[in-house]
Structure formats: C-alpha cells, structure tokens
Amino acid sequence: MRPYFTTFYITEIVVGAEGQVTDHLHPEWANLRIISGALPVSEIRGAAPFGGVTGIVTGPTSTAVRFTTGTSRIWGIGLLPLGWAKFVAAPANAYADRLCDSAAEPAFAPLRPLVDTLFGPEPDEAAELERITRHFESLAARPLPEEARIRTVHHVLVDPDVASVADMAERASLPTHTLERVCRRYFGFPPSLLLRRQRFMRSLSQYMLDPSLKWIGAIDSHYHDQAQFVREFHRFMGMSPSAYAALPHPVLAGVMRARMVAAGAPVQALHDPSRD
C-alpha cells in the first residue's frame, strides 16, 4: 500500500469551548480528510468558503488552502499520484485546486463507506487506523495500466536536480506530449507547474524547519534571484513571504516537524515515492 499514499495521519486540535484556530495548508497532493468534532471552514483562492462536511476531498493543489476549525480529530489520507490513479476513477486535473464533499461526487463513491464508519463512539486511534488500512486494501485490486510510467515520472519530479520540462522528459524517457498527458491525468497539473511547485516547496520547507535561515538562506538554487521567489510566493500562497512569516502556524508548524521524522519529508509535495 505504501506506493499509493504519503501517510495516514491524525491531527488532534484542542481549543477553548468557543475558540478556533486558523492556518494555511501548503500546495500538496490530493487528500481525504475525515473529521470528528468541529467541522472546518476552508477557503481556496477563487472559490467560496467550503465547510460543514465530515469527509473533505482536496484535489492536488497549486495554491494555499486557508482553514479555520475548533476542537476536532482529523484523519488525513494523503494520496500520491499513483494512489489517485488507483482509487479515484477521474482525471486528477478535473479536481485540481478544488475542495469537494466526498459524499457528493460520484468519483469518490468508493471512499464514502470509510467516511461513514471511521469513528466509533469513543476515540480509538488504533482501531481507526485499522479501518483505514482495511478499507483501502479492499479496493486495491483495481488494475493500473500506466503504473510504471506514473512511478517513473514521480521519481523524476522529486529529483531536485531536474529543473526543466526537457530534463524531466529526457529522464523519464517520454516524449514531451506524453509527459504532459500523464502529468495532467495523474498529477493534476502540467509538468512546468509541477516543477515550479517542487522548487517553491523546497524553499518554503527549508524556511519552516529553520526560520533562522531567513528567506534568503532558504531559497532554492534554481531561482534566478529573490525577486523571482517573491513572485512565486504570491502565486502559490497568495501573499508575500513577509506576510506569511508574520502569521501564526498553530497546526502546520507541528505537523511539518512530525512529518519530517515519520516520512522523511516535511510536506507531501516533497514525499519520495520510493521511500521504504
């Protein structure tokens, strides 16, 4: 099951009776989040606020998702591109930069039984994890005609030395038009945008893990200059680096550190699909 997922992870948020926290999800791969307790309200650029559902599917994203929530338990299932191909019968680009109710979209029908039955009368992390694992094992027989190609493209994408679409196509041994099709269908975006997202997330992750670097010390070597990075920050996060740095990160700062220890990468976009 490992090649299909980034992680199965639980986030427990506890605030006062009337309290709420707000944070920003970074650009990432697709996710199913199943919530018990306060239901979050999420906002993605260009769309109305989204909330009031217990099962949220977020397609692959190229922009931040701002969310506000109260006391809750949230199970997250991070779907790698291969996992999207395996468990969702729809092109990833049809759901890119979208938030969806898992109960309302036919493409997510296989996920509904898990959303409906995950939580018991009392919190039980081990039992919940077992239900998640068994549910996806029951769906895993679906064939993947392009599995080898998806694996190859993803392996090339996460290589920090790959800086252009031409490099990516050569390393994947694919014609550019085939690479474009595979990326849109299974990864959600064209290869040029995927490479830009990787470069940006490498920079943002460096800063989040060690703010003492300042932005200038965290910027990826493939950026031409700081001005280019600032433009990209606006593109992917919808704000300036200084505005983002000034915000509290009550959820994501801890999640990134824990994810680095557990999965070897602080964010989903940088997850190595070949990691044991």
Same domain assignment for residues 151 and 211: yes
- For residues 182-193, average pLDDT: 98
DSSP 46: T
Asked if residue 224 is part of any domain, the answer here is: yes
For residues 184 and 3, what is the distance between their CA atoms, to the nearest angstrom? 19
CB atoms < 10 A from the CB of 161, how many?
Answer: 9
| Same structural domain, 155 and 135 | no
84 lies in the same domain as 192: no
Measured CA to CA, the distance from residue 107 to residue 129 in angstroms comes to: 23
In tens, the pLDDT along 231-259 reads: 999 999 999 999 999 999 999 999 999 99
Contacts of 116 (CB under 8 A, 6+ apart): none
Asked whether residue 212 is assigned to any structural domain, the reply reads yes
Assess whether 123 and 178 both reside in one domain: no
Counted domains in the chain: 2
Residue 123 belongs to what domain range?
Answer: 2-139
Q: Of 81, 105, 139, at which residue does a domain stop?
A: 139
* Model pLDDT, residue 154: 98
pTM of model > 0.75? yes
- Where b means 16+ CB within 10 Å and e means fewer, 179-217 reads bbebbbbbbbbbbebbbbbbbbbbbbbbbbeeeeeebee
Average the pLDDT over 30-54 and give the result.
96
User: Is residue 275 over pLDDT 80?
Assistant: no
Q: How confident is the model at residue 276, as a pLDDT?
A: 58
Residues 6+ apart with CB under 8 A from 177: none
Residues 89 and 162 in one domain: no
Measure the CA–CA gap between 18 and 213, rounded to whole angstroms.
36
Q: What is the crossing angle of helices 191-209 and 147-157, to 10°?
A: 50
Domain termination site, one of 107, 139, 171: 139
Q: What is the domain-level CATH number for residue 199?
A: 1.10.10.60
User: Does some domain include residue 70?
Assistant: yes
